[in-house]
Amino acid sequence: MSRIVAMQTNFAVGEIDPLLRARIDLKQYYGALETATNVVIQPQGGAKRREGLRYVTTLDSGAGNAVRLIPFEFNTDDSYMFAAIPGRIYIFRDGVLVTNINASGNDYLSVPEFTSVNLPEMRYAQSADTIIFVHADLAPLKLVRGADHDEWTKSTITFDNVPKYAFTLDTHEPKYTITPSATTGNITLTASAVTTDTGTAQAGSSNTITLKAASSFTTDDQPNGMFIQITAGTGSGQTRHVEDYVASTKVLTVYPAWDTAPDATSQYEVKAFKPAAVDEYVNALNGFGRARIIEYVSDTVVNAYVEIPFFDTSAITSGNFETEHGYESAWSSTKGYPKAITFHEGRLWLAGSKSLPSTVWASRVNDFFNFDKGEGLDDAALEATISTSTLNAITDIFSGRDLQIFTTGGEFYIPQANLEPVTPSNFIVKIATRNGSKADVPVVGVDSGTLFIQREGKALNELAFTDTELAYNTSNVSMLSGHLFKTPTDMAIRRATSTDESDRLMIVNEDDGSMIVFSLLRSQEVTAPAQFTTDGRFLAVGVDVATIYTVVKRTIDGTDQYFVEYFDSNLHLDSAVQASGVASSASVAHLEAKTLKIILDGTIQDDKTVSSGSVSFDRASATDYEVGLYYPVVIKTMPVEPQIQSGSLRGFKKRILEVNAEVFETQAMTINGQQVQFRQFGENNLDTAVQKFTGIKTVGPLLGFNKEGQITITQSVPLDMTILALDFKVSVGQ
């Protein structure tokens, strides 16, 4: 039998996949944990008990599992967290629910457009006092903060020049002549030798109208490609394209179908142009000339922008040009609305509707709701469709070094040479990598790149630009911790605010209601995952500057309740209520019939069960109290594998004889079932808080041989604990 002294100097790798238990060849093995539950890995390498959760309020029971947490930062002094549930938005400021919204008497803003169906995939973006919400089935909404915290205005956005798309492309060769005023740039197109018609219809149907008996059109198809407008009577105000005409019956077919079918009272006029011609095209059939109509001037004149130069300014006669029709609003209740949004370089960017899942649109510069392409100048609106050999339905867009576009089939970006702004002349979408991202989990940005959940929800990837290759690459951040991913549904990141913490990425799992929490400090190669659990299920997570909010589904007295809570470094319990001063009881009506832990003046008291909304203490608090739900803390090392010349010890039975735990400001812990002593009995010890200890605590001798040789650290009481390193003696059987 031999004895070995081993040491684990840090836990900077966090909890790793059970599939890596045999990978003792990896350097990460020696800084990893088999289990890291309800702890946070610090950038220096230690493992610290996570913060408790402070109870804020209970959401309406109609929340169900459809709930989103959405941050809103108005200025450096005022920031908010929205809890969106079907039909409502609750607003929180500084951890407190904002009440009496818009003097309505309600503690929420009514938003009937939010449903259990669209909330999970809702995307949003904020600029100044306005936040915009988008979803494929929802006309974009904006919420504007008013003069005070409780004043908010919700409305559907009215866009100028909504992008058009020819969902059913339709072309005609009109029976008139058209003349361009110039061959390039901004021009005027003038129609001549035009036969028109006005009068009162004889009849109509869903997609036809019977013109007057003495119609000017005397041959079949003569008005095809022109516009018909109902000017009075039934269906007044409607404008349609002429698709077909039968001279013998005077029946004219239109596209699209009428909203209101005309009849014998309907007055009409058929002209070469109408305002509906804007964004349609005129093409010269000899291959020289293509122009987009940008403005209606009269029934025979339109302004246009030349996309392919005309050969000359000669008149183009009937049969030598065609008009492209079938253009309609790209966004509508029938075609769907954009489902991704961001602001980038002074433009509002929207992307991915139901009918156009791979298209990106950008507004005019500093005119966020105007999507007019105009003459294609540098500040004009933009539009592009991703076209590759695979389906690339857009899931999210992100404003980073470049505008990044995440789809189900890969990751794309809009290159900006020398960081020049994006303009119509250089607008192009390029492929970066081919991984695909999950539709219902938003992407988040970190200093080094952009994090996204892989399409199948089983990995966390990072898209980052490398200066050495001058290209984007994707790396698998969760390579060592894939077992923690159990159908992710939400993700948020909290930036580090001090040197003793790192960036913290939170990912909510749908399957078991747990939360994956990555400590990220990429410059020091710290990518350390842990798992948070609670008495209930985490449903959503969001970050208000430095405060991490969560919505937790808890079963209270046999009924599911939905609590808004936030992580608080002063707390050791979940759904906790804390107060200062003298008190002999605490009101905890939200935890009716639950058995709670009690901390009075820093000391642990007997558990109490909530009855009639409160718990009574065995003695009154002198300075403060904390009441809430207990959560277990578990730190379990990997099987011991000291690096010795004789080789691996995996096949041998081992016994941890003694453990020297290096701790920082710790009050309680248990090592391999043996409770560590943190104070001596003596005078003035009872009913006083345990002093925080920094240094080495020794536990041993410990009994029991096995083939693993692991150390398990837990807590039997909810007090501070930070483990920096473990030095231990191992006895190896022959």
- DSSP letters, 339-361, are -EEEEETTEEEEE--SSSTTEEE
Q: Is residue 498 part of a domain?
A: yes
> In sequence order, which residues have a C-beta less than 8 Å from that of residue 609 and are 6 or more positions away?
593, 594, 595, 596, 615
Phi, psi of 688 (to 5 degrees): -125, 150
Whether residues 610 and 507 share a domain: the answer is no
What local confidence, expressed as pLDDT, does residue 698 receive?
93
State how far the Cα of 110 lies from the Cα of 187, in Å rounded to an integer: 49
Structure tokens at 285: 């059939």
DSSP state of 324: E
The answer on 470 and 389 residing in a single domain is: yes
User: Distances in Å between the alpha carbon of 662 and those of 27, 291, 603?
Assistant: 22, 75, 23
The enclosing domain of 705 has a CATH number of 2.60.120
What is the predicted pLDDT for the residue at 580?
94
Contacts of 156 (CB under 8 A, 6+ apart): 139, 140, 141, 142
Q: What is the pLDDT of residues 137-182, one digit of tens each?
A: 999 999 999 999 999 999 999 998 899 898 888 899 999 999 999 9
Cβ-defined contacts of 111-117 (< 8 Å, 24+): 111/84, 111/87, 111/141, 111/154, 112/87, 113/138, 113/139, 113/141, 114/84, 114/85, 114/86, 114/87, 114/88, 114/89, 115/66, 115/86, 115/87, 116/64, 116/66, 116/86, 117/66
Of 530, 591, 532, nearest to 561 by C-alpha is 591
To the nearest whole number, what is the mean pLDDT of the chain?
A: 92
Residue 75: exposure state from Cβ atoms within 10 A (0-12, 13-18, ≥19): exposed
Longest dimension (CA), the chain: 115
What single-letter amino acid sits at 708? Answer: E
Question: Which pLDDT does position 58 carry in this prediction?
Answer: 96
The dihedral over CA atoms of 340, 343, 344, 350, expressed in degrees to the nearest 10, equals 30
Alpha-carbon distance 657 to 3, whole Å? 9
Question: Is the sign of the CA dihedral 170, 173, 179, 182 positive or negative?
Answer: positive
Position of tokens 């549904």? 489
581 alpha-carbon distance from chain centroid: 42
Question: Is 276 strand, coil or helix?
Answer: helix
User: Residue 542 is which amino acid?
Assistant: G
- Indicate if the pLDDT at residue 646 is higher than 70: no
Q: How far apart, in whole angstroms, are the C-alpha atoms of residue 215 and residue 196?
A: 9
Residue 613 backbone class (left: φ over 0; alpha: ψ -120 to 50; beta: rest): left
- Which CATH number covers residue 118? 2.130.10.10
Same domain, 621 and 698: no
Q: Of the candidates 329, 348, 367, which is a domain's last residue?
A: 329
Q: What share of the chain is helix, strand, coil (3-state, %, to 5)?
A: 5, 50, 45
H or E element at residue 574 = strand 574-580
Other C-beta atoms lying within 10 Å of the C-beta of residue 684? 6
What would the mean pLDDT of 347-370 be, rounded to a whole number?
95
Identify the DSSP state of 484: G
Kindly state the average pLDDT of the residues 376-399: 90
For residues 116-137, give the mean pLDDT: 94
DSSP assignment letter at 193: S
End-to-end CA distance of the chain: give it in Å, rounded.
6
Q: Is the per-residue pLDDT at 682 higher than 70?
A: no
- Looking at the fold, whether 365 and 221 belong to one and the same domain comes out as no
Lowest average pLDDT, out of 310-314, 466-470, 497-501, 649-653, goes to 649-653
Q: Work out how many domains the chain is built from and give that number.
A: 4
State the alpha helices, DSSP H only, in 187-287: none
User: Coil, helix or strand for 591?
Assistant: helix
546 and 657: one domain?
no
pLDDT at 683 over 60: no
Instruction: Give the whole-angstrom CA distance, residue 371 versus residue 362.
Output: 7
Over the stretch 209-256, which tens digit does the pLDDT of each residue have?
999 999 999 999 999 999 999 999 999 999 999 999 999 999 999 988
* pLDDT tens sequence across 265-300: 999 999 999 999 988 999 999 778 999 998 999 999
**Residues 478 and 586 reside in one and the same domain:** no
- How does pLDDT run across 301-340, given as a tens digit for each residue? 999 999 889 999 999 999 999 999 888 889 999 999 999 9
> Do 497 and 484 lie in a common domain?
yes
> What pLDDT does residue 64 have?
81
Residue 24 placed within a domain:
no
Cross-strand partners of 552:
538, 563
Is the pLDDT higher at 25 or at 101? 101
Give the whole-number percent of the chain exceeding pLDDT 70: 97
Residue 521 lies in a domain: yes
Tokens of 35: 């289990």
428, 380 contact by CB (below 8 A): no
Q: What is the pLDDT of residues 469-498, one digit of tens each?
A: 788 999 999 999 999 999 999 999 999 888
Do 225 and 374 fall within a single domain? Answer: no
pLDDT at 643 over 70: no
564 occurs within a structural domain: no
- In degrees and rounded to multiples of 5, residue 589 shows phi and psi of -60, -25
Do 356 and 412 share a domain, yes or no?
Answer: yes
pLDDT at 523: 74
> pLDDT tier at 451 (50, 70, 90 boundaries)?
very high
What radius of gyration do the chain's Cα atoms show?
34
The pLDDT value given to residue 166 = 87
Backbone angles phi, psi at 524, to 5 degrees: -105, 15
pLDDT of 686: 62
Q: Which of 501, 520, 554 is the last residue of a domain?
A: 554
Percent of the chain with pLDDT over 90: 78
For residues 617 and 484, membership in a common domain is answered with: no
Half-sphere exposure of 697 (CA within 13 A, CB side): 25
pLDDT digits (tens, 9 = 90+) for 4-60: 888 899 999 999 999 998 888 889 999 999 999 999 999 999 999 999 999 999 998
Residues 191 and 324 in one domain: yes
Kindly state whether residue 40 falls inside one of the protein's structural domains.
no
CA–CA distances in Å: residue 376 to residues 136, 284, 719: 28, 20, 64
Tell me if 45 is assigned to some domain. Answer: no
The tens digit of pLDDT for each residue in 554-571 reads 999 999 999 999 999 999
Element (H, E) at 343: strand 340-344
pLDDT tens, position by position, 720-729: 999 999 998 8
Structural domain ending residue among the three candidates 301, 329, 357: 329
Q: Based on the fold, state whether residues 292 and 364 are members of the same structural domain.
A: no
Q: Which residues, including other chains, have CB under 8 Å from residue 316's CB and lie 6 or more apart? A: 177, 178, 179, 180, 284, 289
Other C-beta atoms closer than 10 Å to the C-beta of 346 total: 15
Inform me whether the pLDDT recorded for 106 exceeds 70.
Answer: yes
Q: Is 450 helix (H, G, I), strand (E, B) or coil?
A: strand
Q: How many CB atoms lie within 10 A of CB 580?
A: 9
Beta strand 130-135 pairing with 123-127: antiparallel
Domain presence at residue 18: no
Domain range for residue 347? 52-161+332-554
The answer to whether position 34 is within a domain reads no
pLDDT of amino acid 705: 83
Q: Which amino acid is located at 298 in the chain?
A: S
509: pLDDT confidence band, cut at 50, 70 and 90? very high
